[in-house]
A = this chain, B = another copy of it.
Amino acid sequence: MFNAVGIMMDQSGGKSFVNAKQVAELAGVSRSAVSRAFTPGASISEEKRRRIVMAAEQLGYHVNHLARGLMGVPSGIVCIVVSELDTPYQSRLVRRLVEQLQAEGRIAVVLAASVAASSLQAALTRALNYRAEATVVLSGSPSQSIVRTCVESGQRLLLINRDDRMEGTYNLRTDNEMAARTALHAFLRAGCRRLAVVTSQARTPSLVAREEAFRAAADGEGLDVRVWAQGPTGYASGLAGAKALLAGRDRPDAVFCVTDLLACGFMDGARQSFGLRVPQEICVIGFDDIDQAEWEAYRLTTFRPPLDEMVRQVVDLVVMPNGSLDVSRESLLEPTFVWRSSVRPAHAEA
């Protein structure tokens, strides 16, 4: 029944977990003492705690967080819902979130919202089943009903980069409108007049906001904007966009790509298929400041979302106790304009 180190075997041949009672028996103390030994701030003598910890180590005992979460104690579980984890921007954000949440003693459950349409619903249900303290949604449109379920259950729902504000959720978004205006003015100062936007078929709120703000700003200057919006939000669409936009006469001399991946694809297309030089013959601005934007092959002028600040706010909202957090249900973060070499400097006008 017991092996050399005292691990109990169950009938199926696998090993079962050691519980506090067994540790108590080995250490010759009550089970409560074991519980207190692993509870910071509990009243227990140092000598007894040492003996208990030693016994626990010998048996391979670990506090069962499931049972702990059964009581009033918060579970420490935070869900992160993400659809395209293999994207440079998303993966970086998730990494930072996981690290910081972990530093705060939380544990991050990553849920994929990509498989089916109802998958997010199922994922959030699972999150509820595990008594997650909060859920961070990086993508997908949660249905109104599931959101209500979450909020009513005391779940905090943090929506990142989604412009559709909903009742009872905390919204974090970057200032897409400001970025679009900044991009336009950078183009104008570089002497560009034939504007274009490259975006994707996916009507993600952030991307739509960037496109529309850019068009509105250009409209304010009396300038026209050609728009290319096809395929998914990735490199391939940018490449295809270049081939489409640059094929005809009167090709654009300034292109705002709503995503860095689109921008990389566009630049490659402009160079390979049309022999254009960036920024001499065509200027490009992206958004996200992914790693590749800094690569020598691109040196892309783009907007860097304030990742540190975003992560900090998310972690704060998660960690914050239940009282007094309704103060700011929404916050708008300013991206930084990162000037590299894909736009002509102002003084070098045509």
Contacts of A129 in B (CB 8 A): 62-65
Q: Which residues of B contact A292 (CB under 8 A)?
A: 292
Per-position 1/0 for A249-271, Cβ under 8 A of B: 00000000000000011001101
- Count how many chain A residues have C-beta atoms less than 8 Å from C-beta atoms of the other chain: 70
Q: Measured between C-beta atoms, what is the minimum distance from A316 to chain B in Å? A: 17
Contact, CB under 8 Å: A152 / B322: no
Residue in chain B with minimal CB distance to A127: B107
Which candidate, A95-103, A158-166, A195-203, A222-230, is the interface stretch facing chain B?
A95-103
A154 at interface, CB cutoff 8 A? yes
Question: Contact at A235–B123, with CB atoms within 8 Å?
Answer: no
Evaluate whether A131 and B17 lie within 8 angstroms (CB atoms) in the complex, with A103-B115, A268-B297 already known: yes
Asked if A110 meets B112 with Cβ closer than 8 Å, knowing A5-B152, A154-B15, A295-B264, the reply is: no
The reply on A109 being an interface residue by CB < 8 A is yes
Give the Cβ gap from A326 to chain B, nearest Cβ, in Å: 10
Contact status A128-B85, CB under 8 Å: no
| Closest B residue to A69 using CB positions | B66
Q: Which 4 A-B pairs have the closest CB atoms?
A: A91-B91, A14-B322, A268-B296, A85-B95
